[in-house]
Structure 1
Amino acid sequence: MANINLSKAKNAKNDEFYTQYHDIEKEINAYLDFDPDVFRGKTILLPCDDPEWSNFTKFFAQNFESIGLKKLISTSYAVESKHYKTGYQVTMFEESAPQFDKSKTTKNGKIFSLTHDLLGDGKIDVNDLEWQYLKGDGDFNSKEVKKLRDEADFIITNPPFSLFRDFLSWIVEGDKQFVIIGNMNAIKYKEVFPLIMENKMWLGNGFQAGNAFFSTPFAEEYGEGVYNQETGLVKFRNVCWFTNLDHGRRHQPMQLMTLADNLRFNKKVKNSSDVYERYENYDAIEVPFTDAIPSDYTGLMGVPISFLDKYSPEQFEIVWQASGNTRASAPKKVLQQLGYIVHPDDRGGCSIVNGRRTYDRIFIRHKIANK
């Protein structure tokens, strides 16, 4: 299949994308491997779910006892607010429930909760979920859902792609631990990068090769090569998990060669005219490939944003980001520290090497250089 990024979905406000169970399992297990008790005695809120279909709800319900949860809360957005292009059909699950209300089925969101062995069969799982209608439509910004946020210890979900900035701000406002899915390019947002630089947020364990497969009612809109008719899935590239939960891969240092060895043996370096050149407007060198970061260079280096997937806070310090839309928010002292020089081809903070503007760069330096 061909692949696309999330920009098309974001711009079209097509936000109904359901994460695969095995992707959720792989990601959450990375945190459990690092700390088996990370969720023990805690409450998890899944605020952007459709609990009848969501694999997030299924995963945490099925593993409720093994990970030691205290409570699981899952909420959905009202059908009328999703702007379905095809007719909505009430599920048998909802219609057969004693609390079914025809006047609320499309106007109100739903809340599912799990706390105990409701059926009395000696185990707590997805069959013990209880549900009712929310008073409102289930918007995460509503007072009703904010109250649930404040009750929870963790926020875990695949939020609406078109509302990623607002959703992250909502989490930060509540001062919660979280695991959420987003586009790698979100790193460039002024609401996001400062959190990464201050070590308040980082990338999670990750999807395989940065590619994620989602099911969606909008699948066929993405065309042949993106939508796989056999699997019913849509493929997106450059997708990642953002989190403030620790995991082991985050502390694995990159194995790097010296600058001299890169020049001798790294084919990417040999074929690039810009690598290790000094920027014309920053006191730093250009390193366009993560695997070309020299182990023995003690100064500032500009690296691609994909570096964050391999970033270890014990190995590197992140100083700042240079791109076409973030310089205005950069503190003057940071720009001065980078030796920033006004350049005629600089349209807002991008780095320039050999007279050309580069892609977005993150400025880093080895931690050992400051010891």
Structure 2
Amino acid sequence: MSGNSILNSAKYSNNNTDEWYTTYETIKEEISHYTKAFYGKTVLCNCDDPFESNFCYYFMKNFNKLQLKKLICTSYSGSKIDQIKNNNQITLDMYYNDIAHHEDIQGSVLVITKMPGTFGEEVDDEIIRKTLSKKDTVKRLKGNGDFRTDECIEYLKQCDICCTNPPFSLFAELFSLIVKYNKQFLLIGNQNAITYKEIFPYIKENKVWVGYRFGDMAFRVPADSQPRKTRFWIDESGQKWRSLGNAMWLTNIDIERRYHKLELTKHYNPELHPKFDNFDGINVKRVADIPMDYYGIMGVPITYIKYHNGSQFEIIGEANHGSDNEFDLFKPKVNGKELFKRILIRRKDN
């Protein structure tokens, strides 16, 4: 893989489902669609160890190319950064011996307002290494670096864009904080988060949308991660990996893809589009099966969100458990069979 394989590492619990380390390639691929949105901005990565996070590394490497005003990276003190090593990793043994190998310590913060190098070009790895080596470039926080603490919220207030891969179990909490302080964001999460009560209203009102990568995403995981039968492998270097088929980027930064209209090829067919048992609407099994000539409410898979255009369809609500929130209208059933959650939409254009 290209780039530096330093890892996004932020541990908030003993549950390894929260320790999924984003690759440099994943970050680079997505942010390539948003570069103009970062010009002159202060970026916060608030679940990211300055020496380990590929988010931190990406924004240091591209600081001059993106013409950033400031980069802030904060990390949680319980990060398992000592469990994953790589020959290309930017590692400062002195720093690790002094700070990182201790369990009960403060978190750390990196603040960058200038990077040596040529304006408009990537920063050389050796410059990044020297920058991180300078005394007081990375400082201890007073607290443990949890993004929910007052200390870290002050850094959130300073930023224009928050960009990170938060622990999946805390995704809704970080989202709520970002919204509270009216910040732009680009976050990695699980697609199921779309239907969370904290998030769905913003999806419904076209204030938040999914990014370009929506589906399969690979992550490095800690050395103590238990093997699994599926979506788990160990590469030639001994690094353990997991992948998700339902990962996503979630954002409120405008993207061109939001304005593409979904091309519809099917006509309404009662056999292909049966009515729900307990709601006046039809079930659409696949996005490709959305009928071009039906103007009532349709229940579509969550994957529809990838194609949503607010001028073409209106999001009415969701069909999940029928009780999660005011927009969760019913539990989807067809012919007595319970279905996986659905997004409820209705045509707006003719």
Same fold flag (TM > 0.5) = yes
User: Residue 299 of structure 1 aligns to a residue in which SS?
Assistant: coil
Distance change >3 Å, CA 217–CA 311, structure 1 → 2: same
Matched with 1:342 is: none
Separation in 2, partners of 1:234, 1:321: 29
User: 1:247 and 2:255 equivalent?
Assistant: yes
Separation in 2, partners of 1:60, 1:84: 19
The offset of 1:156, in angstroms, is 0.5
* Residues 128-155 of structure 1, C-alpha deviations (whole Å, 9 max, x = no match): 3521111111010111100000000111
Aligned 1:74-153 pairs, distance under 5 A = 74-79=73-78, 82=79, 93=92, 95=94, 100=98, 107-117=105-115, 125=123, 126-127=128-129, 128-129=131-132, 130-153=137-160
The offset of 1:365, in angstroms, is 1.1
Aligned 1:34-49 pairs, distance under 5 A = 36=36, 38-49=37-48
Aligned letter for 2:157? D
Matched with 2:66 is: 67
Output the aligned Cα RMSD. Answer: 3.1
Matched with 1:297 is: 294
Matched with 1:52 is: 51
User: 1:165 and 2:172 equivalent?
Assistant: yes
Separation in 1, partners of 2:338, 2:230: 32
The offset of 1:109, in angstroms, is 0.9
Matched with 2:33 is: 30
Distance change >3 Å, CA 274–CA 60, structure 1 → 2: farther
Matched with 2:342 is: 361
The offset of 1:106, in angstroms, is 5.0
Matched with 1:4 is: none
Separation in 2, partners of 1:318, 1:24: 29
The offset of 1:10, in angstroms, is 9.1
Matched with 2:312 is: 315
User: 1:256 and 2:256 equivalent?
Assistant: no
Distance change >3 Å, CA 162–CA 85, structure 1 → 2: farther
Separation in 2, partners of 1:92, 1:84: 10
User: 1:234 and 2:246 equivalent?
Assistant: no
The offset of 1:353, in angstroms, is 2.1
User: Residue 206 of structure 1 aligns to a residue in which SS?
Assistant: strand
The offset of 1:24, in angstroms, is 0.6
Separation in 2, partners of 1:320, 1:11: 35
Matched with 2:3 is: none
Separation in 1, partners of 2:271, 2:338: 11
Separation in 2, partners of 1:241, 1:92: 28
The offset of 1:225, in angstroms, is 4.2
User: Residue 169 of structure 1 aligns to a residue in which SS?
Assistant: helix
User: Residue 41 of structure 1 aligns to a residue in which SS?
Assistant: coil
The offset of 1:351, in angstroms, is 2.2
Aligned letter for 1:362? I
Separation in 1, partners of 2:185, 2:103: 29
Matched with 2:280 is: 283
Partner residue of 1:329 out of 325, 328, 341: 325
The offset of 1:103, in angstroms, is 10
The answer (yes or no) to whether the contact 1:104–1:133 under 8 Å persists in 2 is no
Distance change >3 Å, CA 49–CA 101, structure 1 → 2: closer
The answer (yes or no) to whether the contact 2:83–2:222 under 8 Å persists in 1 is no
* Residues 131-184 of structure 1, C-alpha deviations (whole Å, 9 max, x = no match): 111111101011110000000011100001121221211212222111111111
Aligned letter for 2:107? G
Distance change >3 Å, CA 133–CA 359, structure 1 → 2: same
Separation in 1, partners of 2:167, 2:293: 42
The offset of 1:122, in angstroms, is 5.3
Aligned length: 321
The answer (yes or no) to whether the contact 1:290–1:306 under 8 Å persists in 2 is yes
The offset of 1:256, in angstroms, is 0.9
* Structure whose CA Rg is larger: 1
Distance change >3 Å, CA 188–CA 58, structure 1 → 2: same
| Identical residues among aligned pairs (%) | 36
The answer (yes or no) to whether the contact 1:219–1:227 under 8 Å persists in 2 is no
User: 1:212 and 2:211 equivalent?
Assistant: no
User: 1:21 and 2:18 equivalent?
Assistant: no
The answer (yes or no) to whether the contact 2:77–2:107 under 8 Å persists in 1 is yes
Separation in 2, partners of 1:26, 1:14: 24
The answer (yes or no) to whether the contact 1:10–1:162 under 8 Å persists in 2 is no
